[in-house]
Structure formats: C-alpha cells, structure tokens
Structure 1
C-alpha cells in the first residue's frame, strides 16, 4: 500500500490524473464547484459509479448542479437535518484502486487556495482500507437523489436567495492590529453587570427618562408602516431637532429630545427633516423594526440618506444619520455625536477623526455585536428595557459635555 500526504494544489493535480486514468469513479463530497477539475470529471461521466455532492447551506455552485442534470450515477445528497460532509474520492481499474481522503472539498478552496491535508492511498482493490471505503460509500446510498431539471432550478433560486444573507466573518486575529484592538477592547469584553452599573450610574440624565424617550420612539414607529406617515413634529422629535413650542403643540413635551444627540445645530439636516424628505423616508424604512439588521440594509440606509443632501451645502454625516438609526433600532445603533465621540472612540479603539458613515458599521456595529454584554439573553424587569436599547444607551456611559 502506497500512502502519500497531499496539500490542496496537489489534490487538484492528482484528481485530474486519477479521473483520466481509472475505469470507475466514486465521489462523495460536501460541496462542489464548476471549475477545471469539474470539467475533467464531467468529461469522464461515462465512468461514474456514484458521484454524490452535498448542497447544505447552498455552498455548491448551481452551475455544477445544472451540468449534472440527467447524468447517470450523479446525485445530490439529501442528508435531512444532518449535514452531508464527507470528502472522499475513490477510483478503480481491475485489481488496482486509489483514493484521496481528507479535508479537501470539491471546490475552489479545497482544490487550491486553502490549507488542506489529504491522504492519497494506492494499492490492491481488496486491501482492508479500500473495503472500508466502499462500505462507507454504500452507507450514502439512501441519501442519493437523481439530479433533475426541476431540482436544479429550485436549487438555483435558493442559492441566489442565500447569497443575500449575512454570513459570519472569519474571527479577527492579532496580526490584524487595528481590528484586534477593537475586538479586545474593555467595552467588548465588558460583562453585563458592569455595563448595567455604568448605565445606571451615569452622571448625565436620569435612566428612567432616557428609557421613556426610547419607549416613545418605538411606539411612534410601531403605529405606522412608514416613516412618512408620522407628523412633521414627530419627525423633528425623532431627529432631535424639535423646538420647545413644537413639543408643546404636538404633545411631545414629556421628553428632552436632545438626549441621545441633539441635532439642533445641523441646519441642512433640520431642513430635510422639516420637509419630510422622501429620501430620508426611504433611508429610515430600510431598517427593519424587528430582527437582525444586516450590513446590506445599513448600506442601503446610507445610500438613501446621502441622496437627501445632494442639493445641500453640507452633507449629512455620522451624528445625524446615527441619530435616526439609534431611535429606530436602539438595540443595534448608537448615535455618535460630539459629546460622546471621544469616549466611544477610546472604548472601541478607533481614531475619532476618521469615523465616517462608510466605516461606522465596521468600527462600531461589528465590535459591539461581539461584546459580552451585548450577547446575553434578554433579562427580565427593568433590565429587559435597558437590554432592548442597550446600544443606544452607550451614550449614557460615554456622554461628556466637556
């Protein structure tokens, strides 16, 4: 028995040779791609004994699935609630057998750019290890589903839909110096009890009044299907630009609407709010009231938000945009304005002078979402209300008027 250890590029080369060389081809892999090795495989489709490819998490290229439609002994694996996850290639010609078994999937990474480790086995077909390989392949028989045109069409639709979903990034490593400082900052590592104590002991503004303001904003958003349906004064309150007379006239004088970032000095922004600008409506409506907020939704918000200022002398920026975001989703966004910017920048290890809408998600939202205090289960009582607004409430910790 010959045994050799292969890396990913060598697996790619070896598979091409074995596909051409042998009379029988058996493949069982978690995911597949539509590249050069796939081309070689399809050129030898008449040799297929069983080629079974998984489609869990929509990781397999739909173009490959379409090429397999109607191919004899080509299958999609239906693993049910379990993930079909083998990486097994077996070849046979008469008494000679070879197999490549290891970490490499039948995709771009597994056959090229990834760090992989696979064993190439070569020997007599009746060797114990090859009997085990054939027995293993046989266990997959109940999972095999023939590849039909209807299945390929349905898979492509689901694949395209899955592409829009947020996928986790790789974890930050020490070599990524700036990001590493953010993801190991005291704020990110802060426990819930410490966070709670800091919020409750804020030197500025009373906790119950802060929560009351957030509660009113959530009630306003809950009563309408679109930001456009709120009154002009309700827009001004949410945006932090409402005046005293306007508060009294519209029954909104229960709160100091300057908390979480007063925007009264932002003239162009105040004008767009007073006009109930349609682009601002689109921006705010881009952010869902419930559930996960994705980076794509944030980027859509920013695109619409900036369109509102195309004819203005000054462009809306981080303070005005994040004020709207924090009032719509206080569990996801914090309004970054002059009084809290230095504190937040220090807590999240970024330079305050470089923060803009383009990097706000990366520098603020992503490290906050990784924080210990952010990821606890929702508590009960008053703590539950704080938890619901826990990101916006960072203003209570880092606000400093000096």
Structure 2
C-alpha cells in the first residue's frame, strides 16, 4: 500500500493506472471536464466497465455528463438519502491483477491540481487484498445499480439548474467569481459579518436630515418607474433624475433637487447625450430589470447587453446608477466617490473592476452580508432604508 499526499504524485499515479489497466470501475461524488485526466479518460473510454458519479450540490460539471449521455456504462446518482460521497477508483486486468486508488480525491480538475488530498493506493499483493477487492466491488456494484443513465433531456434540465446554482456555490466557497487575488474568508470581513444594528448605526452617522433626503430620492425614483411601462416614456427631466444628471424636476417634485445622491453622473458626457436623446437601448436595458421580485444573473446580463451596445466600454458608474435607482434593494452605484472605501471594506482589489466583477465580487458579497440577509428595522425610517439597503452603502462609503 502507498499513501499519496500531493497532487503531482496523485496525477502521475492516476495517469499510469489509466494506461496500465484495461478495466475501469469507479464511484465518485463529483466529476469535471476539460482537464487532462478527463481527456485521457475519453481516449480510453473503451476500458470503462462501470462508472457512477454523484450530482449532489450540482458540483458535477454538465460537460462531463454530456460526454456520457445514453452511455450504459456511466451512470449518475440523482438524489440519494444523504450525500453520495465515495472516491473509489478500481483498475484491473484480471482478478489477481488490480490496483485501487481510494481516498479524498474526486474526479475534478481541482483535486488533481490544487486541492489538499490524501489517497491510498492498494494492489492485489497487499495484506487482506481479496477482502478489500470484494468489498470494493460490492460498493461499486451497489452504487451502479442505484444510478441512472442520463438522457439528453435529463442533461438539459440539469444544465439549466447547474447554471442557476453556480453563484451560490461560488459564494459558499468564498470565491465570488474568478478574481485573481486570493479571497479572504467571508467570516473575516467585517462588512459581511456586520449586524443590522451596526449597519444602521453607521447610516445614522450621516445625519437624519441627510438620510431623509436620500430616502426621498429613492421614493421619487420608484414613483417614476411605476408611472410608466418603459424608461423612454418618462420626460426629459424625469429621465435625467433617474440617470443622476442635472434636472429641473425640482420645480414639479419636492426633493428632486437631490438628484445627485447615490451617484452624480454630471461629468459623463456620452451617457448624458444618450439620456438627452432618449436612447431606446438604455430603455430596453432597464426593461430587463424587474421592478420587484428576485434578480437573476440573467437579468443583469441582459441589461448589460443593451447598455453596452448603447455605451461600449467599462462605464460602471453610469450603469450602476441606473440599476441602483430601479432596484436599490439589490444594487449600489459604484463610482469614484465611494469605490475606494467600498473595495477596502470588502477587501477586494479595485484595479480592473468591471461589470462581471461588480456582480461577482460586490453584489454577491452584499447578498451574503449579515445586515443584508437579516434586516430588523425598528421604525419607519429604518424600514425605508431596509428596502434600499444596497444603494444605501453609498451613505457609508461616500467620500466627497
């Protein structure tokens, strides 16, 4: 028996086993595709006798499943009682010529490149080899019998839900997207563990008179969006108010003079022209964000598709101003007056911030914050703040 404790040795042994043996019988919790071991498996798929893969927690990549649609030798455990969690790889030529790799490693790229894994390599000459062999076969066979062959429709349904679940999986792992900087664990970031009481106390530091004015801006924006079906149906001054541009709306709506709260876009010339010209693309972008209910990444991506067609480039401040006005419960305007402090407290790198990172590293982090998840307002003002609690981060981080 041999103990394997590093990924280089694990990969080396696995490649040797794939080449040396004619018969693969495996059972593993998760699998991924696109890595070099997956490529070797496909090149040697004629050797597959029985492979059973779990799909619990949507950790198995759809590309792996797709490769084995309608394959009778590769099956998937759908929803077991508990979690299907073995990592057993039996390689054999005949009954007395076999090796077994067993331990913590799933058939994933991470397991063979960067994870900390420990596996034991057992062969037919080891003590109690026959007992180990028979027990392993029993586990593999029973797993295989419980599993099912995936059809094209099974894969399509799984792929749909897998895509939906990815943001949850990333946030649970602390990754929040594909940032190059190694993320700090969420429990060590003060902003994410801050309670509602601490959050609201910091909001109050701005002064209640300012807070009331901020609330009024949120209320006006909501009233404007609810008054029409499409952004383009608002008049010039109403659109400018939403967009954070100088407006004469104060002559007809009390409180509209504070249009610059939550991000002034006064210096954004190209954006200003689009708003003045009543861009159909900007209106279509905002149509993709529902006025209430859950916001999916697909909503955000659809918004960006129209917005960036209208204004190509990395115009985060202007796009997030619009988003924060339509859904202040979800979005915060990310601009030059608050991004230094916001990135500092989330402990993320401001350099290279773009729309994808904004969603993954800011919005998903906000969603996981204690103060965001569990608001406990005690009065009318706090209730109004709670309905715009993402946008109100500007109150905490504005440096002007």
The residue that corresponds to 1:121 in the other structure is 122
Among 327, 340, 343, the residue aligned to 2:325:
327
Q: Deviations over 1:256-286 (max 9, x none)?
A: 3423234455554333223211222233234
Residue 7 and residue 40 in structure 1: after superposition, are their counterparts in 2 closer, same or farther (change >3 A)? farther
C-alpha contact 2:78 2:147 (8 A) present in aligned 1: yes
* CA apart distance, 1:105: 1.9
* CA apart distance, 1:370: 5.0
C-alpha contact 1:340 1:399 (8 A) present in aligned 2: yes
C-alpha contact 1:191 1:373 (8 A) present in aligned 2: yes
Among 264, 273, 276, the residue aligned to 1:274:
276
1:210 aligned onto 2:209? no
C-alpha contact 2:174 2:186 (8 A) present in aligned 1: no
* CA apart distance, 1:303: 5.6
Distance in 2, matches of 1:44 and 1:129, equals 22
C-alpha contact 2:89 2:102 (8 A) present in aligned 1: yes
C-alpha contact 2:77 2:148 (8 A) present in aligned 1: yes
Distance in 1, matches of 2:343 and 2:21, equals 62
* CA apart distance, 1:28: 1.0
Residue 223 and residue 119 in structure 1: after superposition, are their counterparts in 2 closer, same or farther (change >3 A)? farther
The residue that corresponds to 1:393 in the other structure is 392
**SS of the residue 1:210 aligns to:** helix
The residue that corresponds to 1:55 in the other structure is 55
Among 198, 214, 218, the residue aligned to 1:194:
198
Distance in 1, matches of 2:276 and 2:343, equals 31
Structure 1: segments with no counterpart, 5+ residues: none
**SS of the residue 1:140 aligns to:** helix
Structure 2: segments with no counterpart, 5+ residues: none
C-alpha contact 1:287 1:293 (8 A) present in aligned 2: no
Residue 385 and residue 63 in structure 1: after superposition, are their counterparts in 2 closer, same or farther (change >3 A)? same
The residue that corresponds to 1:100 in the other structure is 101
**SS of the residue 1:28 aligns to:** strand
Equivalent residue runs for 1:87-166 within 5 Å: 87-91=87-91, 93-112=94-113, 114-123=115-124, 127-147=130-150, 151-156=151-156, 158-159=158-159, 162-163=162-163, 165-166=166-167
- Normalised to the residue count of structure 2, the TM-score between the two structures is 0.75
* CA apart distance, 1:198: 1.9
C-alpha contact 2:75 2:144 (8 A) present in aligned 1: no
Residue 9 and residue 39 in structure 1: after superposition, are their counterparts in 2 closer, same or farther (change >3 A)? farther
**Once structures 1 and 2 are overlaid, which stretch shifts more, 370-379 or 278-287?**
370-379
**SS of the residue 1:373 aligns to:** helix
Distance in 1, matches of 2:85 and 2:174, equals 22
Give the structure with higher Rg (CA). 1
**SS of the residue 2:51 aligns to:** strand
C-alpha contact 2:90 2:100 (8 A) present in aligned 1: yes
**SS of the residue 1:119 aligns to:** strand
Q: Deviations over 1:335-394 (max 9, x none)?
A: 345665665566556798987767655775455455443333565753343222112112
* CA apart distance, 1:181: 11
The residue that corresponds to 2:28 in the other structure is 29
The residue that corresponds to 2:285 in the other structure is 283
Residue 263 and residue 316 in structure 1: after superposition, are their counterparts in 2 closer, same or farther (change >3 A)? farther
Among 211, 228, 232, the residue aligned to 1:228:
232
C-alpha contact 2:237 2:247 (8 A) present in aligned 1: no
- Normalised to the residue count of structure 1, the TM-score between the two structures is 0.74
Residue 280 and residue 9 in structure 1: after superposition, are their counterparts in 2 closer, same or farther (change >3 A)? same
Distance in 1, matches of 2:314 and 2:118, equals 51
C-alpha contact 2:52 2:144 (8 A) present in aligned 1: no
Distance in 1, matches of 2:333 and 2:10, equals 51
1:5 aligned onto 2:8? no
* CA apart distance, 1:399: 4.2
Aligned residue pairs, count? 383
